[in-house]
Structure 1
Amino acid sequence: MSRVQQLLDTVGRQSEQVQVEWQAVEAELGTALPADFKEFCEAFGRGEFNGFLYVYTSKGGTHLEVLDNLRKLRRALESWPDAESVYEPYRIFEPGQGGLLRWGGAAAEGYAYYWLVTEEAPENWPIVARTDDTEEWHQYEMSVSEFVYRMITDTEFKPFSCASYSPVPHYESYSDAEPGSLE
C-alpha cells in the first residue's frame, strides 16, 4: 500500500482522481516533482487536513498551487530583496540551482513546509519546515504523504503534530464545498 493510499484510508476518503498535466507543470516549474507528491495531488485535490494543514495541490490541468506560491514569493522578493534573509541558510528555489520549494503550510499558525530541492532525484529531497520565520529549521527525510500522515496521527511528531488537538484525522476537500463558495 502506498503512503498516499494509507493517508486516504486514515481520513476515510476515496481518490479524487484529479487529472494534472504533469509534463507541462514540471516544464514551467523547471524541475520534476516527487512521484509521491504527484500521486497525493491526484488523490486529494484541493482541501485541508484537520482544519489545519493545507498542501499546495492542484485543481487539475496545468494548475499547481506550488507554482502559484513560487510566483507570488518571487514577486514579493523582487520588491523586498532583503526579505530573502528570512530563509537563511537556504535560498528560494531556482531551476538548476535548487533551493526551497514550498509545498504547504498552516497560514493561521505561520507554519511552512518546503522541499529542499537538490541535485538528487526528487524522491530524495528532504523536507525542511519551521513553525514561523524566527524559529529554527527542522529537516526530515520523508515524503510529503508520510509527513502529512505523521502530522495528523502522531502526537509525538513535534513541533508539527496536530493530532493532539484533532484526535480524529480528517480531510475536507474544497470540492465538497458549495459551488462558488471558495472562488
Structure 2
Amino acid sequence: MIELTEWEPLGISVDWAAIEGELGVPLPADYKELYEAFGGGVFSDSVYFLGRDEGVSFDFLTQWRVSLSVDQDSKLGSVSAAGPYAIYAPGGKGLVEWGSTEWADEYFWLIDAEQPGDYPVLARSNDGGPWHRYDMSTSEFLYRVLVDVDFQPFGISQYDLGTMFKPGSGHPFDGQSL
C-alpha cells in the first residue's frame, strides 16, 4: 500500500494493548501496520480507512462503541443493522467496521473471540445486497478494492481515481481538513 500510494510512512505510535484490551481480542497485525503508516483517512478520494484517531470521524473504536450501543439498545428491538450479524461485543462474535466508501459500501472484520487471529473481511455494497466474505487480510482487500478492476462489486479502479491517500480531517500530521 505504501508503494502503491507513494506514501511516506508516519510511524504513528499506538497503545494497541489498551485498544485490544477493550475489544477483548487482538486486532489483525496488517491493520495495525497500515494504521501506523497511514493513520485514518481516505484512499483515492472515496475509500475511507478507519484508524485510531480519538475524537475524529476516522476513529474505528469510536464507531464500534456507537454501533455496539445501538445494536444492544433494547428499545430498538432485536434486529441488528448489520443483520444477519451482530456488532461484535467483547467475548462474542460479530462485526467491527474498519472502512467504507463514499457510495456507502461497508467493510468489516468478522471477529470471533474464540478464534483470535481469524479475521475474514465482510463487505456489503450500498444497495443493501448480500454480504460478501473474503478470507484475506485487510491490506489485501484494500489493495484489491483500489487496483483490481475485476474485484466486483467493490473494486473502484474502473473509475480512474488514482491511488493516493489523504489523512483524515483533524489528523495530527496533515494540518488541513478534507
TM-score scaled to structure 2, two decimals?
Answer: 0.85
Q: What SS does the aligned partner of 1:115 have?
A: strand
1:42 to 15, 30, 36: 36
The match for 1:3 is: none
The CA deviation at 1:94 is: 0.8
The CA deviation at 1:14 is: 1.4
In the alignment, is the contact (CA less than 8 A) between 2:43 and 2:164 conserved in 1? yes
CA distance in 2: counterparts of 1:79 and 1:51, whole angstroms = 37
The match for 2:93 is: 98
CA distance in 1: counterparts of 2:143 and 2:19, whole angstroms = 25
The match for 1:120 is: 115
- Taking a change above 3 Å as real, the CA distance of residues 113 and 84 of structure 1, as seen in their structure-2 partners, is farther
> As a proportion of its length, which structure holds more helix?
1
Matches within 5 A, 1:15-164: 15-59=9-53, 65-77=59-71, 78=73, 81-82=76-77, 84-106=79-101, 108-118=102-112, 119-122=114-117, 124-132=118-126, 134-164=128-158
1:178 to 169, 175, 178: 175
CA distance in 2: counterparts of 1:97 and 1:16, whole angstroms = 33
Work out the percentage of aligned pairs sharing the same amino acid: 34
TM-score scaled to structure 1, two decimals?
Answer: 0.83
Letter of the 2:40 partner, please give it.
Answer: R
The CA deviation at 1:83 is: 7.2
In the alignment, is the contact (CA less than 8 A) between 2:63 and 2:97 conserved in 1? yes
- Taking a change above 3 Å as real, the CA distance of residues 168 and 134 of structure 1, as seen in their structure-2 partners, is closer
In the alignment of these two chains, the number of paired residues is 170
Kindly report the root-mean-square deviation, in angstroms, between the aligned alpha carbons of the 2 structures: 2.2
Question: Which aligned segments of 4 or more residues in structure 1 are displaced greater than 3 angstroms?
Answer: 82-86, 174-179
In the alignment, is the contact (CA less than 8 A) between 2:68 and 2:88 conserved in 1? no
